[in-house]
Amino acid sequence: SGDKEEDGNLTVPEWACQRVARLVHLNKKLTDAIEVLQEHAELRDGHQDYSRALAFRRASCVLKSLPFAVQDVRQLEGLKDVGGHVKRVLSDLLDNGSSSEVQEILNSSWYQKMKLFTSVFGIGPSTAKKWIDNELESIKDVKRNSVRSSDWRVIWGLAFFEDLNSPVLRSEADRFLSIVQQEAEKLLPGVIVQLCGGFRRGKSSGHDVDILLTHPKEGSELGLLHNLLLALEKKDLILIGHKEKSSFRQEILFQDFKLSMRGQLDHFEKWLGICKFPKSFQEQRLDSCLHNDDSNSNSNCLSDHAAQDLDSVKHCEHSEADTQTQTQGNSQLHKASQEKSSEGTVPTCHSLNESFDGTSYEPSAKKAKCGSSLDACPDDLADSERDWVARRVDLIIAPYSQYYYALVGWTGSKHFNRDARLYAQKVLGLKLTSHGLFDMAKKEALPSSSEAEVFHHLKLPYRDPEDRNC
């Protein structure tokens, strides 16, 4: 999606959502380096760092879309998203094979510790910084100093740190998906169960499994999540999790973006948790290429990009998929609220007959074993001999009328979403969320009955999920 204009200047479409961005591209060495700078800025999380991080992300996004391998920074003349700082780093890389600025970051113990600590489920930069200030150096230190968190994600994230930081393989996602499909179909015939996130974009490994569910008969999806969790629990696949009620209300549709989202990424009913994936899920099965993704070609299974994207298995904290209009202050608030969101919801061992709503959810089987000493449970379990691996899973329920917007939102990438939302706002004057596309002036929603229609309403060329890897 890059072209030379007649005067020799390189042009790429202005918006990332207008370009093709694949996992495998020609400038990986350069984008890896720029993404270190981006991540460093994100972790610093201070004044101006948010926009700095975004600038690095934009630059790496442009490089991913170029139809040639950059040999000389002069080839990037005229590209507005590649600024002076990025050019200096790229020059260094192209001339010397490495960038001193990037190397310095990679070697810095602050960066290494921040990366380590923010890779704990539920931990964002501000808690990670506190741990560093308290002279903690390793996950062992954190555990030994018995950092007492009341957040179930942190308790279980620490206990199962190694499991949750080893990449989830495509075969595991496919095996789990097919169980969810079977169980959901039994509960609600005709249900649509879709693997989203990085796997849908063609990644061969990821940090979690994102599954979106809906049913063409709107309203019939109500109650599905509760029953599906019971079914998965019966199959001994659930370790711990938290079910969020839908916070969707009609009134929020035409509210200002920031107001309507209130730091959340969406308002769907969902379960965020940790599942027990039998180790046998890691064995590649011949039929594992036959997952039910309409637009995901089998080539994902055949061409293994594991080496390229293993290192993109990032920390578990969901960062903003918000528009760039979000202020720095808001962004920090958002992160803080994400870190805090489950505080006070100490996991309790609920009986299966209780409602999961708004509660942390732990299998009843452990009730007897754990007694009341809840925070001792995860460590005991993690240390025990077991034939399963702990894996992060998100199950999201969307009403059918919002499904295709939810599908685009939960497919990502995060930057694709952020860019598409900003583009919708700036270029079309429309508000794009995972719930729909809204003409704020006319107070009109633009419904879609396919992903192609979402792109059509956005006046964007349709992009397959594999092409949304910016």
Residue ranges in contact with Mg ion by CB under 5 A: 197-198, 206, 208, 210
Beta-sheet strands, E only, within 362-450: 388-397, 430-433, 436-439, 444-445
87/414 with CB nearer ligand DGT:
414
Closest to ligand DGT by CB, 92 or 266: 266
Residue (198 or 273) nearer to Mg ion, CB: 198
**Site size with ligand DGT, rule: CB under 6 A:** 20
Reported as type and span, the H/E element at residue 209 is: strand 208-214
Among 197, 347, 378, 436, binds ligand DGT (CB under 6 A): 197
Query: Which residue shows structure tokens 């591209």?
Result: 25
Interface residues for ligand DGT in 402-431 (CB under 6 A)? 409-410, 412-414, 417
Least distance from C-beta 411 to ligand DGT, angstroms? 6
Q: In terms of CB distance, is 81 or 244 closer to ligand DGT?
A: 244
Cβ proximity to ligand DGT, 331 vs 434, nearer residue: 434
Looking at the Cβ atoms of 314 and 340, the one nearer to ligand DGT is 314
Residue number, nearest CB to Mg ion: 197
By beta-carbon proximity to ligand DGT, the closer residue of 86 and 170 is 170
Residue in 165, 326, 434, 448 binding ligand DGT, rule: CB under 6 A: 434
- Dist CA 266 CA 216 (whole Å): 20
The continuous run of DSSP H or E covering 361 comes out as: strand 360-361
Q: Residues 264-284, buried b or exposed e (16+ Cβ, 10 A)? A: ebbbbbbbbbbbbbbeebeee
Q: Per rule CB under 6 A, is residue 266 in the interface with ligand DGT?
A: yes
Q: Site residues for ligand DGT, window 299-358 (CB under 6 A)?
A: 313-314, 318, 321
Q: How far is the CB of 204 from Mg ion (least distance, A)?
A: 13
Query: Of 375 and 394, which CB lies nearer to Mg ion in the complex structure?
Result: 394
Nearer to ligand DGT, 30 or 432 (CB): 432
Please give the DSSP secondary-structure letter assigned to residue 468: B
Helix axis angle, 100-107 to 28-44, nearest 10°: 50
Cβ proximity of 160 and 138 under 8 Å: no
Give the chain's length.
Answer: 470
Q: Decide which of ligand DGT, Mg ion, none touches 214; Cβ closer than 5 to 8 Å per partner kind.
A: none
Distances (CA, A) of 143 to 111, 157, 383: 20, 11, 13
* Cα(362)–Cα(145) distance, integer angstroms: 25
Task: Give the DSSP H/E element, type plus range, for residue 55.
Answer: helix 49-65
3-state secondary structure of 398: coil
124 makes contact with ligand DGT (CB under 6 A): no
CB of 277 to ligand DGT, least distance (A): 15
Out of ligand DGT, Mg ion, none, what residue 434 binds, judged by CB under 5 to 8 A for its kind, is ligand DGT
Structure tokens at 444: 């009109």
CB of residue 310 to Mg ion, shortest distance in Å: 14
Question: What's the rounded Cα separation, in Å, for the pair 213 and 306?
Answer: 27
277 strand-pairing partners? 389
How far apart are the C-alpha atoms of 464 and 408, rounded to whole Å?
10
Place of tokens 């979402």: 454
Cβ closer to ligand DGT: 76 or 261? 261
DSSP string over 161-176:
HHHHTSPEEHHHHHHH
* 10 in Cβ contact with 75 (< 8 Å): yes
- Contacting range for ligand DGT; rule: CB under 6 A; set: 13-21, 195-203, 335-343, 443-451: 195-203
Residue 203 partner contact from ligand DGT, Mg ion, none using kind-dependent CB cut-offs of 5 to 8 Å: ligand DGT
CA angle in degrees (0–180, nearest 5) for 99-104-109: 150
Q: Rule CB under 6 A: is residue 122 a binding residue for ligand DGT?
A: no
Among 70, 86, 159, 265, binds ligand DGT (CB under 6 A): 265
- Encoding tokens for residue 30? 């350069």
Is residue 399 involved in binding ligand DGT (CB under 6 A)? no
Beta bridge partners of 208: 392
Q: How far is the CB of 43 from ligand DGT (least distance, A)?
A: 17
Residues near ligand DGT, by CB under 6 A: 197-198, 203, 206-208, 210, 265-266, 313-314, 318, 321, 409-410, 412-414, 417, 434
